[in-house]
Amino acid sequence: MRFTSRTSSDGVTEQFFTLDEIPGVLWTPEGAVGTRPLILLGHGGRQHKTAPHTVSRARRYAAEGFAVVAIDAPHHGDRPQNEEFGRIAAGMRAGMAAGENPGALVAGMHSYLAGQAVADWQTVLTAVQRLDQVGVGPVGYCGMSMGCGLGIPLIAAEPRIRAAVLGLLGVHGLAEDAARITVPVQFLVQWDDQLVPRDQGLALFDALASTEKTLHANPASTGMCRRSKWRVRCGSSSGI
Amino acid sequence: MRFTSRTSSDGVTEQFFTLDEIPGVLWTPEGAVGTRPLILLGHGGRQHKTAPHTVSRARRYAAEGFAVVAIDAPHHGDRPQNEEFGRIAAGMRAGMAAGENPGALVAGMHSYLAGQAVADWQTVLTAVQRLDQVGVGPVGYCGMSMGCGLGIPLIAAEPRIRAAVLGLLGVHGLAEDAARITVPVQFLVQWDDQLVPRDQGLALFDALASTEKTLHANPASTGMCRRSKWRVRCGSSSGI
């Protein structure tokens, strides 16, 4: 784990790092010492580890005492994109323009990324928990949309994650992994989502095996633009 | 408005009253002076104004500075039951035992009660807001199950109510009134409710015309027993 920068402001220390070619950011309370709960923030499709709402949330949680880490998903942010990813992304866009089932198209993309994304998160989690100011405390995961699509296989595979905030995605391709998730989950649904049909989002919530799960739905009708404005409260809601 | 008792403990004053033969309870912070937000608590079917969870919530909100009022619904609690109500209630129970649609049966009961219940709440609201320690501040309504079934026609008819927490009920018989509600609403759904089919609860949320509405769903599978354990957070969630 190689830290490439470190700045502190408003009581929060922000450190950029790379680990096995995974670019990431770690936020901790300034002067933090000792073990603390850790929140993993998974960004959405075509976004990256320092998208404005990711950073603002991360800083807020860190100011409250959490450690927070975000990484670029494979082929996102500062990571190289290979040709195959380019073909899949172009195919997804073309399919959407042609009116194909967006749930299936998005699921295909997430499926392509998930194997690497899960391995990345597990590597980063192990490394971050070795830091004195993080330690082996409880871990939560928060991700919407693609952050949910990559988060569900991660949480299904990763017993260190004890709670999650997920949502803004349908069940397509995720039912099997969702049925392996038993940790508490807060799940967000946009009631009038242009990308995710309501029944598909409800079906993903339904598929989670967690006995402690809560669905929060809010209306919106302006599609992706509105989706990015969701006020996600990972730190206060994940129960970690 | 005739107050029949007054006791104070733990910083909350509890006053029983009758008004036009409507029995009610008013909770206010001890020593309260001046206008404050008011929460109307509507109880569930076969319950009453001093059901334990109604009282505990009321006392909590009053301790936080709210005024809170609960009244017995028509034919409930300390109010007389007439023969017609007895027949309807017996018919509802018999229909449920015979496997008839519980949504339709419950809606029939609520429809029988709603006219009087709405008039009762409007009378009580006017009287309570004349008290020095309540005044004409913002008003919220909170009611689950029958409290929702009587609350929806009330809120549709009553512009003084600015926010509501509703739920644990299906759309049967309520779509028209729900479509007249435009205030912010938090709506609770029990994901595996034995009494209210999931799609009926979601349809009632959908029918609300409010642009600011949020649905919170949680799983449970033990029917009415579990329903009564809902942790409803009217005061913190209604935005009044």
Question: CATH number, domain at B171?
Answer: 3.40.50.1820
Mean pLDDT of A25-34: 97
Confidence of residue A198 (pLDDT cuts 50, 70, 90): very high
- Give pLDDT, residue A194: 82
Res. B226: pLDDT tops 80: no
Whether residues B217 and A218 touch (CB distance < 8 A) is answered with no
* ipTM for the predicted complex: 0.75
Whether residues B214 and A217 touch (CB distance < 8 A) is answered with yes
pTM above 0.90, yes or no: no
Confidence of residue A193 (pLDDT cuts 50, 70, 90): confident
What sign has the CA pseudo-torsion B232, B238, B239, B240? negative
Host domain of residue B128: 2-237
Q: Number of structural domains, chain B?
A: 1
Distance CA A230, CA A142 (A): 13
Cβ contacts of B177 within 8 Å, gap of 6 or more: B152, B153, B155, B156
Res. B13: pLDDT tops 50: yes
What is the radius of gyration, based on Cα positions, of chain B? 17
Q: A77 to chain B nearest CA, in Å?
A: 33
CB-nearest partner of B216 from A211, A215, A219:
A215
Residues 209-228 of A with CB under 8 A from B: 211, 213-219
CB-nearest partner of B211 from A202, A211, A219:
A219
- Give pLDDT, residue A233: 42
Mean pLDDT of A90-118: 95
What sign has the CA pseudo-torsion A3, A49, A55, A186? negative
CA-closest candidate to residue A136, choices A165, A113, A159, A120: A159
Taking only the tens place, the pLDDT of each residue in B150-174 is: 999 999 999 999 999 999 999 999 9
Contact list, A213 vs chain B (CB under 8 Å): 218-219
Residue B206 contacts A, CB cutoff 8 Å = yes
Paired strand residues for A170? none
Taking only the tens place, the pLDDT of each residue in B110-122 is: 999 999 999 999 9
Under a CB-based contact definition with an 8 Å cutoff, are residues B174 and B191 in contact?
Answer: no
Annotate B181-194 with three-state secondary structure. CCCCEEEEEECCCC
* Residue % of chain A over a pLDDT of 90: 88
Mean residue pLDDT across chain B: 91
CB-nearest partner of B218 from A191, A214, A217:
A214
Judged by phi (left if over 0) then psi (alpha if -120 to 50, else beta), residue A181 lies in beta
In the numeric block, which tokens belong to residue A204?
């993903």
Distance CA A151, CA A139 (A): 13
Paired strand residues for A218? A190
Residues 165-204 of B with CB under 8 A from A: 189, 191, 202
- Helix/strand/coil for B195: coil
